[in-house]
Amino acid sequence: MYIPDGSTQDYDKGGPANRYSWGWLGDKVPIEKTGWKDSGLKSRVVSLLHAKKNDYIVMHHMGSHDCEVCGKSKPKKQYQGNGSFLITHAGLEFRCPAGVIHYIEEHDYNPGYQVIEALFEGRWKTGKQEDEELEECMERWHEERRLEAEEKERNMTPMERKRRDFGNAAQAAGRKKLAQLRKDGALVK
């Protein structure tokens, strides 16, 4: 997957307007993004990314990816985990694939000053934070469904209520009957 560095385009649609995508290189590293004048800086960046990859990878659901650059020359060579790093800095939300470490180490990719500054000074989102947000989101969703059900209940006419109660009772009776048949060995399962 290729997205130009600095684009607001997201890997999956619907990213925020302040998205800054980087490291979605596809099958080649752009020549102007190749090479580090300061190899010490490069190794500091690589170390930082390695240190972050346990607790700071988010969006694991994206599935795992192989390196398309390696894929062109050495079809069997694979690398990479999955997911993204998400870093907030200077009003922007920087997102890159977790496999960007490989692009830097193996293909000498240099994302540029703006990203490097974000790496060192930005706020990294943790996987735990993401889990908590998801959980909150699910809770909100359940609460909304519960309120909807309550609302529906309040708006039911007596006839509808009767019909519903009758339906529930019939279902319960059916379940009871099935359970009894199973117990008696009349049903295989």
- Please check whether residue 62 is in contact with residue 11, taking contact to mean a CB–CB distance below 8 angstroms: yes
- To Zn ion, the closest distance from the beta carbon of 118 in angstroms equals 23
Q: Which of residues 79-118 bind Zn ion (CB under 5 A)?
A: 106
Interaction between residue 69 and Zn ion (CB under 5 A): yes
Interaction between residue 29 and Zn ion (CB under 5 A): no
- To Zn ion, the closest distance from the beta carbon of 70 in angstroms equals 3
Give the nearer residue to Zn ion in terms of CB position, either 82 or 114.
82
Interaction between residue 70 and Zn ion (CB under 5 A): yes
- Please check whether residue 20 is in contact with residue 112, taking contact to mean a CB–CB distance below 8 angstroms: no
- Please check whether residue 52 is in contact with residue 126, taking contact to mean a CB–CB distance below 8 angstroms: no
Residue 37 CA neighbour count, 13 Å, CB half: 3
135 vs 140: CA distance, rounded Å: 9
Give the nearer residue to Zn ion in terms of CB position, either 28 or 161.
28
Q: Which residues bind Zn ion (CB under 5 A)?
A: 67, 69-70, 106
